[in-house]
Amino acid sequence: MASMTPARPPVLDSCAGRLCGLRHRAMVVAVLPARRFRKEAGVPSLPPQPLRVSTGMLPERDRMAAFREEFARQVLNMDVVDYSGGNPRIDITYLKLGPVAVGGTVTTPSEFIRDPRHFTDGADDFQLLLAHRPSRVHAAGRDLLLPSGSAVLLDYARLYRAGPVDDGEANNIAVPPALLKTLVAHPEDRAGREIRPGPALRLLDGYLASLLALDEAPPAELAELIGLHLIDLVAAVIGPTYDAREVIAERGLKAARQRAVLAEIARRFHDPGLDVDSVAGRIGLSRRVVQRLLEETGKSFTEHLTERRLERARAMLADPECSHLKVIEIALAAGFGDVSHFNRMFRRRFGESPSGMRAARPA
């Protein structure tokens, strides 16, 4: 039977080989719009789990040259200029969520450039760039100095240059234009304009941070739903039409807040000090709002947190690679601070003790 694996361009094989066998041998970058990557001839679909790439995986002597020639120019169809003084570092996280792609970048001083030489790929996504450090941006004919916490909408079909003033950090989300235009009139007119910090922007940024910190991507159906909610949030940030405001408020903002809370619990459940206040503070909501959002799921904060911890403990007890760990070590690794409490909750949830479940595991 013929192989079903799509052919790979040589550049991807070359880069992937240099990147120490990165999982699934696929490379993406935070500035890469989702639709454009799918258009690359012969490039396989992106795997659903988060991808993490670093220039630190490349040989030091030709690190930036390899990144620029084989990755930025040939894969991203962009250019990149290094301003680090010879010690570049670019760390990237990427996650595909239904119709959108989200990313996070930590970099030494650098600048990514997309100009008419690169437009032959036909990419037309809109990208919202959320700067965590001061950044210089030229987009839609405007020069901006973005303060920390601000954002800017970039149009991938038009020239732009973007990079941090110093060491930089940013999150971003790429959105297909057809979907964004159902909520925002003429989004291309909003490109290149500073978006100042506000509740919707802080919520979006916190949501992106929680998603990018996940070890595993959400299931496909949930990822699709999260992607649509993220589009609602992007529209809320840049300015929805009058008719779309009510839809976004009901469908997008509430759902996005709820998902952000659940994602933060999923990311940090193993921290024994995790509580409602720390989750609320991380995503910019009040304690009461977090509690009310979770009430609508039918479970309290404590119930969601305990369920996550119990499921992790059960998985570790069933994993032969964790056989060397004591039950108390598994309890602590799952986030429980009291082993007797862990034993009670485990028996109540699964009908047997942790030791009993481990003993019943097939050899």
Give 39 or 345, the one with higher predicted confidence. Answer: 345
pLDDT band at 182 (very low <50, low <70, confident <90, very high): confident
- Is the predicted pLDDT of residue 45 greater than 60, yes or no? no
Both 126 and 249 in one domain: the answer is: yes
> Do 283 and 326 sit in the same domain of this protein?
no
Beta strands in the chain (DSSP E): 51-54, 79-82, 90-97, 100-107, 110-114, 126-131, 135-139, 142-146, 151-155, 160-164, 168-175, 194-195
Q: Is residue 264 part of a domain?
A: yes
Do 208 and 253 lie in one domain? The reply is yes
pLDDT attached to residue 260: 84
Q: What CATH code is carried by the domain that includes residue 220?
A: 2.60.120.280
Residues 193 and 337 in one domain: no
Same domain, 335 and 249: no
Query: Do 218 and 351 reside in the same domain of the chain?
Result: no
pLDDT reported for residue 214 = 87
Domain count, the chain: 2
135-139 β-sheet, strand order: 79-82, 110-114, 160-164, 135-139, 142-146
Same domain, 124 and 258: yes
Can you give the C-alpha Rg of the chain in angstroms? 22
Residue 1 lies in a domain: no
Alpha-carbon gap, residue 29 to 78, rounded angstroms: 11
What range defines the domain where residue 346 resides?
306-359
Last residue of a domain, one of 298, 316, 349: 298
What does the DSSP 8-state code read for residue 250?
Answer: I
On whether both 51 and 87 belong to a single domain, the answer is: yes
Burial class of 141 by CB neighbour count within 10 A (0 to 12, 13 to 18, 19+): exposed
Asked whether residue 328 falls in the same domain as residue 196, the answer is no
185 and 315 within one domain: no
Q: Take residue 361 and report the two structure tokens written for it.
A: 């595991």
Global confidence as pTM: 0.64
Q: Give the chain's mean pLDDT.
A: 82
Distances (CA, A) of 327 to 24, 201, 302: 34, 43, 22
Q: Which of 259, 279, 298 is the last residue of a domain?
A: 298
Residue 275 lies in a domain: yes
pLDDT digits (tens, 9 = 90+) for 99-147: 999 999 999 999 999 988 888 888 889 999 999 999 999 999 999 999 9
306-328, pLDDT tens digit by residue? 999 999 999 999 988 899 999 99
